[in-house]
Structure 1
Amino acid sequence: MSDDTARQRRHFTRRLQQLGDRPQALDWSSFDSQRRRHEVMAGIGIDNGHTVLDVGCGLGHLLNFFRRAGLTVGYTGIDLVPALVARCRTSYPGTPFLVHDLLAEPWPDSEAFDWVVACGIFAHWRDDPAGDMKRMISAMVPLARRGVALCSLSARAPDPELWTLFHADPAEMAAHARTLANRVVLREDYLPDDFALYIHR
């Protein structure tokens, strides 16, 4: 287990114990900011009947967003943190939630999804955050039949002197994505400190 994985397991287990099932337990600033990012993830084209792999599913809030939006999808959630996965299994019985580190353990080649999403999972990476983000993008793309959507804190965000979390360079990540797919869309139009990538297969 990497230092980053161990650190995140400790951090988010503690946050869940302190705050319970709410966006702040996952270090989202508010319900509204989390919902806005979920809207952007769905905006890649996720529709009824599609299958979705949620990488870094946290507390399953993206699945809850889909349901509240009236979207019926074949959803699978994976996360590094066993405590979060256990809570998801309680909150959403019958939905597959797995403890899985996509960087450390490849996904079975026989299983693919229409869409693979990763919503805000990169902020707490410290050892090699930019390199690990590129490796994660490279791991996600082959699992998607239609495409990949991800969002991250942006290196173009204001007040860099106040940052304590990893902020990725949007241009650098978009350039990496273009080595993996022909159509890549960079979005910087929804929150001032964030960006999203749509990687279409």
Structure 2
Amino acid sequence: MNSLTDTASIFRYHREMIAHYGNNNSHALGWRDDQSQLIRFQVLSQIGDLNHHSVMDVGCGHADLCPYLKAIYPDCRYLGVEQIPELLDRAIERYGHLPETLLFLGDFLTSPLPAADYVLASGSLNYSSSDPEFIYKAISKLFESSRVGFGFNLLRSVSQTGLLKAYNLDTIWAYCQELTTKAVLKDDYSEEDFTIFLYH
């Protein structure tokens, strides 16, 4: 889905952020601040009752979604997949000891994925791609990878052009409604972001 050039750009971007901000904060992940990350976690956590379900966080970064979800749903099983080794190492250091938690290295768009009840993508689909069909292929694959539902957020505006891409809400919503009649749109929590839940 992503070309080698696209992937190299993503690696370079995060390694530059780590070099500038260090690898112990949300800036390394490309978030403006912790609060902007937290708001998205709050919305994604509303996808359903995650207790006694497996949740796969694709492009998990430092896996900060893991303790957030476990505080609300202590009986959920968390799977985090991340393609950038430096980010994954920090995730394992922080949360690898938690029960029912598995963190592993992989590109969620090209690697085989374990089965999971829910799949969540927070910020990991916001990168520009040389493939104009990238976002549709990604949404379709990740929805198919879930047994119960898939939740993701996308930017609808970006402050500057470059690696991050904004998407037209109406276009994405129309595509999602072609995949399933069980879809929920949440677009009232941020002027720059929206979230969609797709259910089987």
Q: Output the TM-score relative to the length of structure 2.
A: 0.87
Alignment correspondent of 1:5? 7
Residues 116 and 149, structure 1, Cα contact 8 Å, conserved in 2:
yes
Matched, 1:98 2:104: yes
| 1:152 counterpart (148, 154, 160) | 154
Aligned pair partner of 1:81 in 80, 84, 89: 84
Write the deviation string for residues 108-132 of structure 1: whole angstroms up to 9, x where unpaired: xxx421110001112232323x521
Give runs of aligned pairs for residues 1-201 of structure 1, distance below 5 A: 2-17=4-19, 18-69=21-72, 71-94=74-97, 95-107=101-113, 111-128=114-131, 131-154=133-156, 157=157, 162-164=159-161, 165-201=164-200
**Per-residue deviation at 1:47?**
2.4
- The AA in structure 2 aligned to 1:175 is A
Shift of 1:22: 1.1
Helix, strand or coil at the partner of 2:167: coil
Equivalent position amino acid for 2:7 in 1: T
Q: Alignment partner of 1:146: what SS?
A: strand
Query: Could you tell me how far apart the structure 1 residues matched to 2:96 and 2:108 are?
Result: 23
Q: Secondary structure at the match of 2:179?
A: coil
Could you tell me how far 1:146 is from its partner in structure 2? 1.1
Task: Give ranges in structure 1 of 5+ residues lacking alignment.
Answer: none
5+ residue gaps, structure 2: none
Equivalent residue pairs, number: 192
Normalising to structure 1: TM-score of the pair?
Answer: 0.87
Name the stretch that deviates more: 61-70 or 50-59. 61-70
CA RMSD of aligned residues (A): 1.9
Q: Secondary structure at the match of 1:15?
A: helix
